Amino acid sequence: MSEMLEVSDLRVTFGGRGGLVAVDGVSLRVAPEETLAVVGESGSGKTTVARCVVGLQRPDSGTVTFEGRRLGPAGRRPPESQRAIQMVFQDPRSSLNPRMPVSDLIGEAWRTHPVTAPRGDRTEALHRLLADVGLDADVAGRRAGDLSGGQCQRVSIARALAVRPRLLVCDEAVSALDVSVQAQILRLLVDLRRSHRLALLFITHDLGVVHQIADRVAVMRRGAVVEEGPAGEVLGAPRHEYTQALLDAALDIGVEA
C-alpha cells in the first residue's frame, strides 16, 4: 500500500535534557484519502504528534515524510508541501485573527499560494468556498468576534480547503464545540473528505466521535502508541487494556447522557 504520510520513530522532549518526554518513539502511517484517528487522554502526546506533522514543533529525533519527501519546520517546507498539509485547531475563535474579516483570511491563503488562487472573479470563488463549508455569503465581511464557535470552525476549514490540501490535520477540531454543533462539523468533515479526496489525521480524546469518522485508530498513552488497527477492530474488540478502559469511560458518559 502506498503511504502518503509516514511518521517514524518520532521523539519530542520538552524542557531540554531530562525534561518531560511528550512523544516517545511514535510511528504512524496515513494512506491517501484515509482517516486515521489518534486518540488518548490529555498529556498522551497526540497533539504534539500533530504539531510535528504540520511543522509547528521540531522533533528531537524521528522523521515526518510526505509523499516520499522528508519535511522540516513549517517555514522551511517547499510551498507544495506547505499547502498539501493543512491544520484545523482546537479553539475555533483564536485560530482566526480577530482583526481580519473572513474574506481577508481566505485571501491571505490564496495570496500565499498563488497556484491555488481562483482565476477570474474572486468574490464568487470565495462565496462558493464558503458554501462548501455550509456558510452564507454574508459571512465574508465578518470578523471572528461576530461569528459563533461553529461558524469560526467552518471558516477555519474553508481557509484550509482554499489551498487544496491533501491531508487535513484536525487537532481536537470538534472538542470545544457544543454537542449538536460537534455533530454538524463532523458531518461536514465526512462530506468534505469524500468531495475533496482528503486524508484526515483526526486527533481527539473523545472515543465517542471516532467511530463516525475513522478508518483506522491509533491509541496513544504516555507518548507511545499502545494499539493501532482498523476502527472496527480497535473499538469493537480492543486488545489493550488501556483502550478497553477508554472505551468503558466513553460508554459510561454515553449512558449518563
Q: Does 213 bind other proteins (CB under 8 A)?
A: no
Sole window of 6-14, 19-27, 87-95, 187-195 interacting with other proteins (rule: CB under 8 A): 87-95
| Residue among 140 and 163 whose Cβ is closer to other proteins | 163
**Smallest distance, other proteins to C-beta of residue 9, A:** 23
Residue 125 has which C-alpha cell?
470563488
Q: How many CB atoms lie within 10 A of CB 239?
A: 12
Sole window of 20-28, 84-92, 117-125, 219-227 interacting with other proteins (rule: CB under 8 A): 84-92
Q: CA-to-CA distance for 110 and 144, rounded, in angstroms? A: 19
| Residue among 55 and 59 whose Cβ is closer to other proteins | 55
Burial of 15 by CB count in 10 Å (0-12 exposed, 13-18 middle, 19+ buried)? Answer: exposed
Residue 137 has which C-alpha cell?
455569503
| Residue among 74 and 224 whose Cβ is closer to other proteins | 74
Q: Does 96 bind other proteins (CB under 8 A)?
A: yes
- Residue closest to 151 by CA, chosen among 107, 192, 96, 213: 96
CA atoms within 13 Å, Cβ hemisphere of 184: 14
| Residue among 48 and 82 whose Cβ is closer to other proteins | 82
Q: Does 224 bind other proteins (CB under 8 A)?
A: no
**Smallest distance, other proteins to C-beta of residue 156, A:** 7
- Phi then psi for residue 205, to 5 deg, are -100, -5
Q: CA-to-CA distance for 235 and 228, rounded, in angstroms? A: 10
Judge contact between 26 and 10, C-beta under 8 A. yes
**Smallest distance, other proteins to C-beta of residue 231, A:** 26
**Smallest distance, other proteins to C-beta of residue 7, A:** 16
**Smallest distance, other proteins to C-beta of residue 21, A:** 22
**Smallest distance, other proteins to C-beta of residue 94, A:** 5
- Pairing of the two strands 199-204 and 167-171: parallel
Scan residues 178-197 and list those touching other proteins (CB under 8 A). Answer: none
Q: Which of 44, 47, 95, 243 is the binder for other proteins (CB under 8 A)?
A: 95
Q: Which of 4, 5, 77, 238 is the binder for other proteins (CB under 8 A)?
A: 77
CA atoms within 13 Å, Cβ hemisphere of 3: 14
Residue linked to cell 478508518: 215
Q: Which of 7, 28, 85, 203 is the binder for other proteins (CB under 8 A)?
A: 85
Helix 122-132 × helix 149-162 angle, to 10° = 120
Distance, CA of 34 to chain centre = 13
List of residues contacting other proteins (CB under 8 A): 54-56, 74-75, 77, 79, 82-83, 85-87, 89-91, 94-100, 108-109, 112-113, 156, 159, 163
